[in-house]
């Protein structure tokens, strides 16, 4: 009989609140790394702390196991998603996960990457196998993934409660890194923040946040989705949620409703009722997300791009980019129905003004040849993601900024779609779920190039191509046509009409 018992090699590290026990993957000092999972950076946000700012945890005695992911703010089975991000039940949802090749090392400290997951600020989880820092550890980078409160609990406006609780969670997690990452072999003076989708939006929000400037030193935003919810919309969404839940729109009122009740109603409350089937799409394009960082005149004094234009974060290197067709695939099912509808007419139904339609279609002739559904999908992509890249790069002016595009089309989904770049960025092409989005043989040369650029930035170097801030428009293309240059002069020309 074969013994299938696996011997766990434990690793220990101290934190300011107590010792933690993680586990090695591979041999210490021979390419292996240790994972410390579910380390709390704040008390469980329940009871009196449910709508409070994050509160530091109390010290503990002995050694605390950090062998499994902690509870997540995301609840329940989310079904099949592009990135596998499982929910973990429990109350203590404010945790960090640390992946390090050198826990407790006393030698030269290693640079640190802090990853913020996406999910539209209402879902997502740091417990994805794609976010394992193994490849970054291999390349001499300590990796931290963080959790934060989502949806209404994290971002809804509540009379009598601190604003932007999810943003405050990001700040608390980054403060934990400053206080404790040296005990895991990391250098708190060399911290890069990175994230994708809402996580990319979080990165840009933090870059533009005066209160965050001392907590990190460079940033990488993948497919950033900004929220910047204005005060009137934040108040209106909270009022609708209170009415749907049958409670007063106050801290005590919302606290009287179970978490599951508010979670189940927050999507319905995010938009004003309408019989127009396109109203939700138009609202998303015109107004953006309903739950997410809100301009509150306090912690978040102004919108992200405005703050960047005013010079906040200008001392920090930034890399940002998007995939070419983030959301184009969502219109694939409508391709037949739209095949005879002129693209200009379809855009007009989305409320796109005449002059903008004309200019946009002129700059997207190649996409137009793929059909009206492809044009609409690309327009949604550009309005939400790709125009943000150009606006942020332009707003930063001379601040060190590099821009890229991820152009390799998925062999299973047809497009260079949302989330496709993430396993390449993490160099984790063999992880579960990657084949569903990237096929059975994704090109490792693209992973080597994209991941290598990320490692270079984290180490303090430039990512390997000329900066947009030196020559505006300069763009690195990952996964483009083999015959085309990897670096082009006006990589976001097609979104000019939206900037």
Integer Cα distance of 484 and 477 in angstroms: 9
Q: Which phi and psi (to 5°) does residue 11 adopt?
A: -130, 145
pLDDT digits (tens, 9 = 90+) for 386-396: 999 999 999 99
Among candidate residues 123, 326, 407, 451, the one labeled active-site is 326
- For residue range 210-257, list pLDDT tens digits in order: 999 999 999 999 999 999 999 999 999 999 999 999 999 999 999 999
Query: Can you tell me the mean pLDDT for 325-341?
Result: 91
Compute the mean pLDDT over every residue in the chain, rounded to the nearest whole number. Answer: 94
Give residue 3's pLDDT: 46
End-to-end, the C-alpha distance of the chain in Å comes to 67
* pLDDT on residue 2: 46
351-363 confidence digits (pLDDT tens): 899 999 999 999 9
pTM, two decimals, is: 0.95
**Count of CB atoms within 10 A of residue 339's CB?**
10
pLDDT tier for residue 397 given thresholds of 50, 70 and 90: very high
For residue 243, the number of C-alpha atoms closer than 13 Å in the C-beta half-sphere is: 11
Position 31 scores a pLDDT of: 83
Report pLDDT for 395: 98
For the stretch 34-73, pLDDT in tens is 999 999 999 999 999 999 999 999 999 999 999 999 999 9
Stretch 185-195: mean pLDDT, rounded? Answer: 98
CB contact at 8 A, 492 and 390: yes
- Percent of the chain's residues with pLDDT above 70: 97
Catalytic-residue membership of 326: yes
Catalytic residue from among 125, 128, 163, 197? 197
Is residue 197 flagged as an active site residue?
yes
Annotated active-site residue in 387, 418, 469, 494: 418
Yes or no: say if 179 and 186 are a contact pair by the CB < 8 Å rule: no
Render pLDDT for 61-108 as a digit per residue (tens, 0 to 9). Answer: 999 999 999 999 999 888 878 999 999 999 999 999 999 999 987 789
Interhelix angle for 231-245 vs 259-269, to 10°?
120
454-492 pLDDT per residue, tens = 999 999 999 999 999 999 999 999 999 888 899 999 999
């Amino acid at each position: 009989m074969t013994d299938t018992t696996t011997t766990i090699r434990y690793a220990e590290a101290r934190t300011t609140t107590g010792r933690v026990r993680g586990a090695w993957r591979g041999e210490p000092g021979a390419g292996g790394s240790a994972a410390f999972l579910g380390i709390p950076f704040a008390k469980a946000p329940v009871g009196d702390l449910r709508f409070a700012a994050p509160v530091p945890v109390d010290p503990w005695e002995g050694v605390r196991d950090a062998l499994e992911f902690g509870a997540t703010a995301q609840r329940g089975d989310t079904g099949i998603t592009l990135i596998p991000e499982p929910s973990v039940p429990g109350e203590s949802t404010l945790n960090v996960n640390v992946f390090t090749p050198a826990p407790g090392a006393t030698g030269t400290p290693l640079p640190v990457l802090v990853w913020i997951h996406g999910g539209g600020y209402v879902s997502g989880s740091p417990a994805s196998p794609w976010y394992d820092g193994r490849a970054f550890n291999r390349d001499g980078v300590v990796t931290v993934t963080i959790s934060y409160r989502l949806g209404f609990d994290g971002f809804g406006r509540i009379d009598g409660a601190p604003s932007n609780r999810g943003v405050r969670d990001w700040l608390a997690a980054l403060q934990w890194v400053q206080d404790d990452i040296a005990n895991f072999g990391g250098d708190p003076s060399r911290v890069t923040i990175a994230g994708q989708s809402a996580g990319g939006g979080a990165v840009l929000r933090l870059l533009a946040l005066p209160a965050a400037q001392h907590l990190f030193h460079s940033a990488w935003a993948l497919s950033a989705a900004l929220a910047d919810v204005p005060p009137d919309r934040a108040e209106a969404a909270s009022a609708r949620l209170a009415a749907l839940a049958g409670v007063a729109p106050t801290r005590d009122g919302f606290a009287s409703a179970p978490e599951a009740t508010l979670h189940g109603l927050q999507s319905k409350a995010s938009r004003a009722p309408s019989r127009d089937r396109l109203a939700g799409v138009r609202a998303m394009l015109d107004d953006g997300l309903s739950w997410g960082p809100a301009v509150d005149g306090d912690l978040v004094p102004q919108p992200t791009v405005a703050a960047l234009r005013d010079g906040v974060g200008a001392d920090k290197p930034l890399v940002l980019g998007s995939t070419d067709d983030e959301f184009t695939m969502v219109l694939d099912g409508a391709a037949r129905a739209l095949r005879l509808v002129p693209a200009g007419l379809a855009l007009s139904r989305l409320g796109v003004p005449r002059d903008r339609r004309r200019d946009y279609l002129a700059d997207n002739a190649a996409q137009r040849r793929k059909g009206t559904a492809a044009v609409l999908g690309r327009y949604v992509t550009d309005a939400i993601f790709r125009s943000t890249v150009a606006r942020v790069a332009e707003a930063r002016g001379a601040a060190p900024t590099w821009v890229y595009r991820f152009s390799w089309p998925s062999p299973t989904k047809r497009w260079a779609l949302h989330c496709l770049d993430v396993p390449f960025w993490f160099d984790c092409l063999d992880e579960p779920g990657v084949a569903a989005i990237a096929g059975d043989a994704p090109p490792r040369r693209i992973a080597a190039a994209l991941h290598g650029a990320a490692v270079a930035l984290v180490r303090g170097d430039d990512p390997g191509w000329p900066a947009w801030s030196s020559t505006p428009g300069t763009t690195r293309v990952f996964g483009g046509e083999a015959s085309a240059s990897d670096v082009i002069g006006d990589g976001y020309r097609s979104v000019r009409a939206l900037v």
